[in-house]
Amino acid sequence: MTRPGAKHPTLRDVASLAGVSHQTVSRVINHRPEVTPETRAKVEVAIAQLGFRPHAIARSMAQGRTCTLACLVPNLTDFTYASNMEGAESVARAHGYYLLSSPFADRPQFDALIDELAVDRRVDGVIVISPYLDERRVALPDGIPAVLMAGCLRDDIKQIVLLDNRDGAGQAARHLLALGHRRIGQIAGPRAEDCVQERDLGFLDALADAGIQPDSSLSVEGDWSATSGYELLKLLVAREPKLTAIFAHNDRMAVGAIRAARDLGLRVPQDLSIIGFDDMPLASYFDPPLTTVRQDTFAIGRACASLLIDLLDSPAPESTIVRLAAELVVRQSTAPARGKEVAEFAKIAAQVTKPPLMVQPFHYT
Amino acid sequence: MTRPGAKHPTLRDVASLAGVSHQTVSRVINHRPEVTPETRAKVEVAIAQLGFRPHAIARSMAQGRTCTLACLVPNLTDFTYASNMEGAESVARAHGYYLLSSPFADRPQFDALIDELAVDRRVDGVIVISPYLDERRVALPDGIPAVLMAGCLRDDIKQIVLLDNRDGAGQAARHLLALGHRRIGQIAGPRAEDCVQERDLGFLDALADAGIQPDSSLSVEGDWSATSGYELLKLLVAREPKLTAIFAHNDRMAVGAIRAARDLGLRVPQDLSIIGFDDMPLASYFDPPLTTVRQDTFAIGRACASLLIDLLDSPAPESTIVRLAAELVVRQSTAPARGKEVAEFAKIAAQVTKPPLMVQPFHYT
DNA sequence: ATGAAAGCGCTAACAA
DNA sequence: TTGTTAGCGCTTTCAT
């Protein structure tokens, strides 16, 4: 049979069984106060007897809301995204919403998707995860509550959740500086992503604060893959053999860089310190265990959903920025620069250390 | 405003603008043949002018189908699950369905979830990913098309997609045997999961075929985590110092085991060969690069969705089993047993090698 | 406190 | 080929 659901009891079935009008049944299932305890009891018996469950689609039709949120995301498999979604899902469900996650590859696909979701299917709100600044840069539709998870602020978007990438990168840089490193290379992510630009700024800020001239030849652009980390480390070392430390914009590239260093005969961390970003699963099981900057991707996802649901419940505030702090995790892929007066640099580092910037503290329930 | 969608044009708006009946508009948007080209053109102009898009909820209401599939899954972050979902999502979308993914923790939650999804929200079909054999063991509802992704066959479920775990484990074991290993330990996953039992069988089969007595003290049960792999390797080595190889039921435990071996002063693979299962991302970036058994989780997900959609389109066949083969990936965490006549064992191994068992070949589009 | 009527936006069945 | 009439199952008026 094409429609296996032709057998569900309806409100009217319950009504006639209970000997009341269907409207009364509706009041009961919606927990309205204006129903006599006796009628309520009668109706509840009938509901139980028939195994009646309200038809959510019909409800959506009548109420104009679907109790569904959508999450548009580049893919479902990257751990950071998956964990954002899991966080968002957990608060959505706790509030009675379902979360529909849809991957998209580019701007046209995004545009088509958001129309299908927001206009055709009438989801109540959308979470958009999109770091791109190039032709994939998204615009949020108006007319539907939306929050963006991004890597930095954007003028055109008012509800936004982000990681403090700039400070995170600063922490990484200051950690390396404190260990006495002066020639530090950077294996960045794709320039077209906003968090990359933020991390680059945070990195350069910290170096500048320590009195180090920026050297653009020491910054190279990878594609987040371990392979790119591998190739780029070789490139950097060829370019500047005196390099003693590397800041990679994610852990995968850091891991690739470690492999390359080893293939070059460099010991990590004795000859070369390498720090990553993300604190991905098993980061502590690589060799050596990875020093990195942790982002709480689950909390970021929760923040997105919380913010969105707040928007749904009450009239939208002008703008809400939720910024979550990154946290340095020191393991064993970084070590003091050889032959350096560590104490001297530790002093420098201490004086450039600032507390993480929290634009607005965020509490979820 | 609580309902930001009060402004969408409807079928009737289009109809009156085009000067036809709303039914004609319906025929146009559904690409029915019985409409004059001229009327169609008129209607299409009106549609474009108003920016009309059909209301999917209203459609669901009238047609009794939602064009939505659900995927019930233990969580969204495990790479294997995430990649199953991404595979399923890709074929679902290609066929005009959305995929609603919902994590569940236990059987009561599963039962509640499937009722909400299948009965209340009337999704057209469900994919269930659930490996549990204990109190979390799921039952599929009837009345709605459903396919299970599992680790082995089940009498009570007719539509099922699975990895050939038994053969995969057999490949792992035969690889170790071919390298001359005779004392092989097994770090299994939780016994309550079906794939674990299959892998155990495949492993023991292969040993038996090679004339090796099963020794249950060499099989221990982990929880999939690297930490458990770490602890259990130490336990195994303490129990049987002559162990020369380990088969871990997943890569994370294998990685933990490698770390433990190293902490014990054992070199991997020279002193101890370790093989994992899954071929997770970055498996080749651990030290040493992991020998493992690959499962194509994306293809498994696609198979689930394909099967489900077939079920939707045409009357359900009695039963469909889709079994996908696992594939040995040899890297550097396994090596010949020391002091062994490798050739001798290679001969044994060759004679026990069988082609992977494919119950039913599967083709997706 | 309860019931009757109308309608959410669409499709299906029938009529013209 | 096109239009009319009924619903889909619920909620929301508005009476009673």
Report pLDDT digits (tens) over B13-34. Answer: 999 999 999 999 999 999 998 8
Pairing of strands A98-103, B219-221: unpaired
Which residue's CA shows the smallest distance to C1' of C3? A21
pLDDT value at residue B262? 96
3-state secondary structure chain B: CCCCCCCCCCHHHHHHHHCCCHHHHHHHHCCCCCCCHHHHHHHHHHHHHHCCCCCHHHHHHHHCCCCEEEEEECCCCCHHHHHHHHHHHHHHHHCCCEEEEEECCCHHHHHHHHHHHHHHCCCCEEEEECCECCCCCCCCCCCCCEEEEECCCCCCCCEEEEECHHHHHHHHHHHHHHCCCCCEEEEECCCCEHHHHHHHHHHHHHHHHCCCCCCHHHEEECCCCHHHHHHHHHHHHHHCCCCCEEEECCHHHHHHHHHHHHHCCCCCCCCCEEECCECCCCHHHCCCCCEEEECCHHHHHHHHHHHHHHHHHCCCCCCEEEEECCEEECCCCCCCCCCCCHHHHHHHHHHHCCCCCCCCCCCCC
- Percent of chain A past pLDDT 90, that is, above it, reads 81
Q: Among all strands, which nt has the closest C1' to B21 (CA)? A: D3
Provide the CB-side half-sphere exposure for A292 (13 A, CA). Answer: 25
- Window from A112-116, A219-223, A315-319, B60-64 with minimum mean pLDDT: A315-319
Query: A98 CA to C12 C1', in Å?
Result: 31
Tell me how many degrees the CA angle A279-B188-B287 measures, rounded to the nearest 5. 45
Residue A292: its H or E element: strand A292-294
Cα separation, B46 vs B330, whole angstroms: 62
C-beta separation of A11 from A22 below 8 A: yes
In this predicted structure, which of A40-49, A196-205, A217-226, A339-348 has the lowest mean pLDDT?
A339-348
Which DSSP category does A120 fall into? Answer: I
- What confidence score (pLDDT) does residue A7 get? 76
* Integer Cα distance of A136 and A103 in angstroms: 13
- Binned at pLDDT 50, 70 and 90, residue B273 comes out as very high
Establish how many alpha carbons lie within 13 A of residue B176's alpha carbon, considering only the half-sphere containing its beta carbon: 33
Between residues A298 and B313, which one has the greater pLDDT?
Answer: A298
Q: How many CB pairs under 8 A join A and B?
A: 130
Average pLDDT over residues A232-259: 97
Residue B87: per-residue pLDDT: 98
Q: Would the CA dihedral through A5, A6, A9, A15 be positive or negative?
A: positive
Burial class of residue B87 in the structure, from the number of CB atoms within 10 Å of its CB (0-12 exposed, 13-18 middle, 19+ buried): buried
Instruction: Write down the residue that tokens 């620069």 correspond to.
Output: A337
Mean pLDDT along residues A240-247: 96
Q: A89 burial class (0-12, 13-18, 19+ CB within 10 angstroms)?
A: buried
CATH of B165-295+326-352, one of 1.10.3470.10, 3.40.190.290, 3.40.640.10, 3.40.50.2300: 3.40.50.2300
Select the more confidently predicted residue: A361 or A325.
A325
pLDDT at B362 over 80: no
A163-196 pLDDT, tens digit per residue, is 999 999 999 999 999 999 999 999 999 999 999 9
pLDDT for A225 beyond 60:
yes
Nearest CB among A2, A56, A66 relative to B120 is that of: A56
Choose between B71 and A363: higher pLDDT: B71
Question: How far apart, in whole angstroms, are the C-alpha atoms of residue A162 and residue A318?
Answer: 17
In this complex, which of B4, B54, B86 lies closest to A75 when CB atoms are compared? B86
Domain A63-164+298-324 = CATH 3.40.50.620 = no
Model pLDDT, residue B339: 59
Does residue B348 surpass a pLDDT of 70? no
Q: Which CATH number fits domain A11-53: 3.20.20.70, 1.20.810.10, 2.40.50.100, 1.10.260.40?
A: 1.10.260.40
- Nearest CB to B82; choose among A77, A143, A144: A77
Percent of chain A past pLDDT 70, that is, above it, reads 91
pLDDT for the residue B172:
98
Whether A132 shows a pLDDT value over 80: the answer reads yes
Q: What is the mean pLDDT of residues A32-45?
A: 89
- What integer best gives the mean pLDDT of chain A? 90
The yes-or-no answer to whether B11-53 and B63-164+298-324 have a common fold is: no
8 Å CB contact of A57 and B103: no
CA distance B83 to chain A (A): 6
d(CA B227, CA A285): 10
Question: Which pLDDT score, from 0 to 100, does residue A338 have?
Answer: 80
Q: Is the CB of A60 under 7 A from strand D?
A: no
pLDDT-based confidence at residue A339 (cuts at 50, 70, 90): low
The mean pLDDT value for A309-327 works out to 90
**By percentage, how much of chain B surpasses pLDDT 90?**
83
pLDDT digits (tens, 9 = 90+) for B185-209: 999 999 999 999 999 999 999 999 9
The reported pLDDT for the residue numbered A345 is 45
Q: Name A99's Cβ contacts closer than 8 Å, sequence gap at least 6.
A: A68, A69, A70, A71, A85, A88, A89, A92, A93, A305, B100, B101, B102
- What is the distance in angstroms measured between the alpha-carbon CA of A221 and the sugar C1' of C9? 51
- Angstrom CA distances, B1 to A144, A145, A314, B4, stand at 10, 10, 9, 6
C-alpha distances out from residue A282 to A73, A249, B227, Å: 24, 17, 10
Place of tokens 């987040």: A224
Closest chain B C-alpha to A326 CA, distance in angstroms: 20
Cβ pair A285:B57 closer than 8 A: no
Q: What is the domain partition of chain A in residue ranges?
A: 11-53, 63-164+298-324, 165-295+326-352
Mutate to test the interface with B, among A98, A129, A251, A309 (most CBs of B within 10 A): A98
Question: How many CB atoms are closer than 10 A to CB B130?
Answer: 21
Residue A119 confidence (pLDDT) = 94
Convert the pLDDT of each residue in B56-103 to its tens digit.
999 999 999 999 999 999 999 999 999 999 999 999 999 999 999 999
